[in-house]
Structure 1
Amino acid sequence: MVTDKPGYEHLIQFLTENLALFERGDNSASGKTLGEVLEEAIAEQIIQLCTQHTELEMNHRSLIVREVDGIMYDFQEVLASVLKRPATAQQTELIQEVALLIKNLFDNAIADLMD
C-alpha cells in the first residue's frame, strides 16, 4: 500500500538524513523515550486516518495495520540504538513530522484505492 512506494523510500531517507539529531541528547528531554514518542505519534495519526476514512472496509484497515507494523519495524531498526533514550523537544517534533508524512502517504494511497 505505501511501503513499496517511492514516497516511503524518501521518508526513510529523510529519517536517515536526520539521524544526527537522535545521536545527541540534551537537558530538555521529556519523560518519554524516543520509542514511546514514535509509537504514540504514529498510532495517533493512524487512528485519525481511520476515523477520517469511514469508507474503508475491514480488509483495508487490516492492510493498513500490517503496513504500520512494517513501518514501525523499519523505524525501530533505524533508531534501535537510541529508542530507550528520553526524547528531546526537537526529536519529538521530528517524529511528529514523520508521523504526519506517514499519514499523508496513507491518505494518498486510500484516495488511489477509492478511485
Structure 2
Amino acid sequence: MVTDKPGYEHLIQFLTEHLALFEQAGTPTRDNKTLGVIIEERIAEQIIQLCTQHTELETIHRSQIIREVDGIMYDFQEVLASVLNRPATAEQIELINEVALLIKNLFDTAIAHLMD
C-alpha cells in the first residue's frame, strides 16, 4: 500500500538525513518519554485518525494498513535503534510529529487511489 512506494523511500531518507538531531544531547521534555514511546504514540494517533476519517475502508484494508504500520515501526526502530530509549527533546518530538503526519499523508494518498 505505501511501504513499496517511492514516497516511503523518501520518508526513510528524510528520517536518515535528520539522524544528527536524534544523536544530539538535549533537554528532555517534562514527561521524560523516550523516543521509542513518542514514535509509537504519534504514529498510532495518526493511524487512528486515518481510520476514523476513512469510514469506507473495508476490514481487509484496515488490516493491510496495520500490517504496514508494523513494518514502518520496524524500519524506524532499525534506523533509530541506538537512541530509542533516550528521553525525547522538544525538537525531536517536532520532527517525529512531522514524520507521523507524512506517514498519514502517504496512507491518505494510497486510500484515495484505492477508492478510485
Say whether the fold is shared (TM-score over 0.5): yes
Per-residue CA deviations over 1:24-79 (Å, capped at 9, x if unaligned) read 1212x121000000000000000000000000000000000000000000000000
Question: TM-score, normalised on structure 1?
Answer: 0.98
Residue 41 of structure 2 aligns to which amino acid in structure 1? Answer: E
Corresponding residue number in structure 2 for 1:15: 15
Corresponding residue number in structure 1 for 2:96: 95
Separation in structure 2 between the aligned mates of residue 84 and residue 96 of structure 1, nearest angstrom:
18
Aligned residues: 114
Question: Structure 2: which 5+ residue stretches go unaligned?
Answer: none
Question: TM-score, normalised on structure 2?
Answer: 0.97
Over 3 Å off, 4+ runs: none
Corresponding residue number in structure 1 for 2:45: 44
Corresponding residue number in structure 1 for 2:68: 67
Aligned residues with identical type, % of pairs: 81
Computed over aligned residues only, the root mean square deviation of the Cα atoms, in angstroms, reads 0.4
